[in-house]
Structure 1
Amino acid sequence: MDSGAPYRRIAAEIRDNITSGRLRPGDRIPPTRQITRDWGVAMATASKVIAVLRDEGLVDTKPGSGTVVRSRDRAFTPTSSRRQELDRDRIVRTAIAIADAEGMAAVSMRRVATDLGVATMSLYRHVPGKDDLMLYMVDLVTAEKTAHARPPAHWRERLEFSSRLLWTICRRHPWVAEVLSMTRPRAITPNLMFYAEWVLTALRGLGLGMDDMMYIHLNLFSHIRGLALSLQSEARARQDTGMTSDEWMDTQVAEFREVVATGRYPTMEYVVTQEFEQDMDTMFEYGLRLLLDGVERRLARGQAVGRPAPA
């Protein structure tokens, strides 16, 4: 194999930064998009760079953090991906690892094949295409939570249980929110179907009409998906900028204070003087409680939930 190939030259530069200590265990190495910009290469070449360093045991991929330098005290035994049997499960798990580390945009049949060390066309014997691959990915990460789950019988407890389960999946795999859609659902998979079945069963047991059942279901789903999309956007921004949300906010403070100091926004001026720590899990629970409290109140009053109350 040509040792002068671009991906090998780039991998050698990053390897040197690792072995010299300039990149320490836990440090992030340049993500694929940065490699394409800094070295002027294609995404496929950048993917090969990461794959080479991973095969050498120098780096690990971590969900939400990207690819980081492996701790030196962790044992690593190089294995040849080509010698391992290729099947759908292995392809799907490899795609999930890529999406967890770099987002769904990084997932392609070519990228998965590169990480597996096989020809791209060999994947198509097990997976028809990327759309099918995404469905298999969603189904697998959902199965890990729904396989042995037993939702409570009470309607509110069941909705809380189902919502928290889907939130946990999206929290662990933010890219799932990109695949799911409220207006054009395509991720109709056996294991994901359990979520909708649990929610609608709880609502049907209340004797609600179809409008009410669906509006409650879709509002709960939108709450979860909307927050999860923010997680995915943050993960992408962190990869692109190398900064956490707190670090990025620190760079905006001066400009923000300058705007509110004009006196045109007295309430915003008050807000910036107060203590507030945004936490996504707290936001999820807060919104879930508000939604279900609203449903409970309207049920107690005998009002339709899916339509506005009369003025």
Structure 2
Amino acid sequence: MTGRQPPYRRIAAEIRRRIDLGELRPGDPVPSARRLTREHGVAIATATKVLALLRDEGRVLTRPGAGTVVAPARTVGPGPGRDPNGTGPALSRERLIRAGIVLADEGGLGAVSMRQLAADLGVATMSLYRHVRGRDDLVLAMADAALADAPLPAVAPAGWRARLDLLARAQWAAYRRHRWLPHVISMARPQPLPSGMAHTEWALRATAGLGLDRHVRWHVAVTLMAYVRGIATNLEMGAQAVQDTGLSDEQWVDQHQTTFQRMIAGGGLATMAALTSEGQLDLDLETVFDFGLRRLLDGYATLIEGRPDAEVSPGR
């Protein structure tokens, strides 16, 4: 029957066996997706499914700077966080949510499973359902807590532009800390997240008293937040690519520089050829986010005050 297994399950079983035998210990790196493609002759999509399966089982996790590693050994005996009698953990909804955030920060949303959380917290899986209705409910609660970690000041700065700029950068910071977060937030179907709704309230208040139609004010708020989320959806993919290849973004570009140059020199890309011949570019997600945010607010200024430099501080 083993030979009839899909390739990704067969490869996962081999890695699982090595973990069980102690050949791979907690914290040890496991083969990257790229290495699995070389060693087993499978496509990158298959190799990715191997690691996703092992993450879902709680066997491995992704650590920034270390790649995919064997997950720590789990213990269920009395220890920190258990009640004074040692009969069980002092479990709470807040503790469960925070544990979920830790898992997601380390290995992405795919690493968050009720089974893994129960193992981390030293409790029976079914006990988690006293605090959340299920995984979907937990993930939404995690998203709300992550947004709450980017609090907005009690006193807003003066001017609509400064207020919207502050909101956008606060959300960007939250997305950078929690790269899985933009994949949870929906612009098409807003979720009932108290912290998220507080951000929307902030954006709407920023345009109060400017004489704008209510439809315009809603579009200003939602478009701003959608822009930040849209750029942020690239954060997790970029981090995963670094883990899988072992190359930074700069190293990856350098490795493929010859191929890019050959394609550009092949014709039909004269504009790219002219611009790249002028030297290195300062272009990454941070510069794209900052440039786009400034230009978006410039557009709002044109809409609100009829001139693109409205409320632009010196140097902007």
Normalising by structure 2, report the TM-score.
0.73
Checking the alignment, whether the CA contact within 8 Å between 1:103 and 1:175 is kept in structure 2 is: yes
Q: CA deviation at 1:173?
A: 0.8
Secondary structure at 1:235's aligned position in 2? helix
Match 1:43 to one of 53, 61, 66: 53
Checking the alignment, whether the CA contact within 8 Å between 2:97 and 2:142 is kept in structure 1 is: yes
1:230 matched to 2:225: no
Secondary structure at 2:256's aligned position in 1? helix
Q: CA deviation at 1:231?
A: 0.6
Q: CA deviation at 1:114?
A: 3.1
Q: CA deviation at 1:264?
A: 1.7
Q: CA deviation at 1:65?
A: 5.8
Distance 1:203 1:42, change over 3 A: closer
1:295 matched to 2:308: no
Checking the alignment, whether the CA contact within 8 Å between 1:109 and 1:120 is kept in structure 2 is: yes
Match 1:14 to one of 24, 44, 50: 24
Q: What residue is the counterpart of 2:120 in the other structure?
A: 115
Match 1:177 to one of 169, 177, 182: 182
Q: What residue is the counterpart of 2:5 in the other structure?
A: none
Q: Could you tell me which amino acid in structure 1 is paired with residue 217 of structure 2?
A: M
Match 1:251 to one of 244, 248, 255: 255
Q: What residue is the counterpart of 1:57 in the other structure?
A: none
Q: What residue is the counterpart of 1:94 in the other structure?
A: 99
TM-align CA RMSD: 3.6
Distance 1:122 1:63, change over 3 A: farther
After superposition, what is the alpha-carbon deviation per residue over 1:164-202, rounded to whole angstroms, capped at 9, x for unaligned?
11111111112110011111222x211221110010111
Secondary structure at 2:207's aligned position in 1? helix
Distance 1:253 1:196, change over 3 A: same
Q: CA deviation at 1:33?
A: 11
Q: What residue is the counterpart of 2:137 in the other structure?
A: 132
Checking the alignment, whether the CA contact within 8 Å between 1:48 and 1:115 is kept in structure 2 is: no
Q: What residue is the counterpart of 1:284 in the other structure?
A: 289
Q: CA deviation at 1:262?
A: 1.4
Q: What residue is the counterpart of 1:155 in the other structure?
A: 160
CA distance in 2, matches of 1:244, 1:131: 33
Q: CA deviation at 1:47?
A: 4.3
CA distance in 2, matches of 1:100, 1:248: 24
Checking the alignment, whether the CA contact within 8 Å between 1:102 and 1:236 is kept in structure 2 is: no
Checking the alignment, whether the CA contact within 8 Å between 1:152 and 1:158 is kept in structure 2 is: yes
Checking the alignment, whether the CA contact within 8 Å between 2:55 and 2:110 is kept in structure 1 is: no
CA distance in 1, matches of 2:268, 2:129: 60
Which sections of structure 2, spanning at least 5 residues, go unmatched?
A: 1-13, 37-45, 71-77, 83-87, 308-316
Normalising by structure 1, report the TM-score.
0.74
Q: What residue is the counterpart of 2:310 in the other structure?
A: none
After superposition, what is the alpha-carbon deviation per residue over 1:176-234, rounded to whole angstroms, capped at 9, x for unaligned?
10011111222x21122111001011123312112211222222112101110011221
Checking the alignment, whether the CA contact within 8 Å between 1:31 and 1:67 is kept in structure 2 is: yes
Q: CA deviation at 1:34?
A: 8.7
Segment of structure 1 superposing worse, 145-154 or 190-199: 145-154
After superposition, what is the alpha-carbon deviation per residue over 1:264-310, rounded to whole angstroms, capped at 9, x for unaligned?
211111233221122323322221111111111232239xxxxxxxx
Distance 1:124 1:214, change over 3 A: same
CA distance in 1, matches of 2:35, 2:219: 42
Which sections of structure 1, spanning at least 5 residues, go unmatched?
A: 52-60, 70-77, 303-311
After superposition, what is the alpha-carbon deviation per residue over 1:145-171, rounded to whole angstroms, capped at 9, x for unaligned?
227554224211111111111111111
Checking the alignment, whether the CA contact within 8 Å between 2:56 and 2:113 is kept in structure 1 is: no
Secondary structure at 2:283's aligned position in 1? coil
CA distance in 2, matches of 1:152, 1:111: 43
CA distance in 2, matches of 1:267, 1:216: 34
